[in-house]
Structure 1
């Protein structure tokens, strides 16, 4: 299905209701999050413009690397992004494309806590229903998806398919054809 514009707009409204009282730092988790991030920010900016008080908003980008291929040991390395101490005292909105097991996000949240942000909320376009989940749920969810490998709308399979405007499940044939 195409990403419902109204869904992203609704997420933007919820986020502004919860976080809109204070400087927001929107933290995009790369690479998969960039399209959702851009769309979501457009809506937040529009809401900001049409409200009586405009909230200062800054953006930053981080990449997360799990130390051990798929089987994340729960150790992650944050690559890029400003010095995380800039998050102290701010409302931080982490924007993610998909939450799979939730392990990485839990680790990132624990890491950010050390910098004393005022508030941290997580929005994820997709949440995968998987038995491997550690039980983590983001604050805002676009859609739930089955435990399959999804691509499109900036989510990739070995860097392919990020350019699709919709999200779809990649078939075994596709996996074979585009395997690394």
Structure 2
């Protein structure tokens, strides 16, 4: 058995609350998109949210295409390094499409701003943005079209959010500070 983390996570948002937020986001987004929309998740942290959101959209009658762009601005640090590294681009054409960019948390906004730029350069006709959580930021770089939860200014783990690659699989969103 692995040694437990020296810091015990504090639950901030339960799995049932996460599910409720995803359902509400899908109700808001579904009328604005169609089945040709590409739901593009920012990897790696956004994968959990992207999976749940696209299933919630399906329950709202939208069978979107799925893609991902693999980006990183944190590495194993607790703060952004101040630059975004693109590790793998989109796999399908974005030309003329509506693209829904999906990310786990908006903190500095660097990754999402870069993803918007890449998506527009790829020829998307329209780009919508959705983040599960938005943390307070003194200098907000952009405002997402959809925000599920206004998160506190704490170090978050679980539901795709990690601490040095671990704790992503926690079903709740927790603070680790």
Q: Same fold (TM over 0.5)?
A: yes
Q: Point out where structure 1 has 5 or more consecutive residues left out of the alignment.
A: 49-54, 172-180
Deviations 1:80-116 (A, max 9, x none): 24456x0011110111000101122112212221222
Quote the Cα distance in structure 2 between the aligned partners of 1:72 and 1:14.
Answer: 32
**Greater shift after overlay, 100-109 or 25-34?**
100-109
The CA distance in 1 between the partners of 2:126 and 2:153, in whole Å, is 30
Comparing both chains, which one has the higher relative contact order based on Cα–Cα distances under 8 Å and sequence gaps of 6 or more?
A: 2
The two structures have a TM-score, normalised by structure 2, of 0.81
Partner of 1:43: 56
Q: Higher helix proportion, which one?
A: 1
Query: What do residues 105-157 of structure 1 show as CA deviations (whole Å, max 9, x unaligned)?
Result: 112212221222121111100001022x3341111001011221100111100
**CA 168–149 in structure 1, closer or farther in 2 if over 3 Å, else same:** same
Structure 1 length-normalised TM: 0.80
Larger Rg: 1
Relative distance call for 1:107 and 1:141 in structure 2 (3 A) is same
1:32 aligns with 2:45: yes
Q: What is the CA RMSD across the aligned residues, in angstroms?
A: 2.2
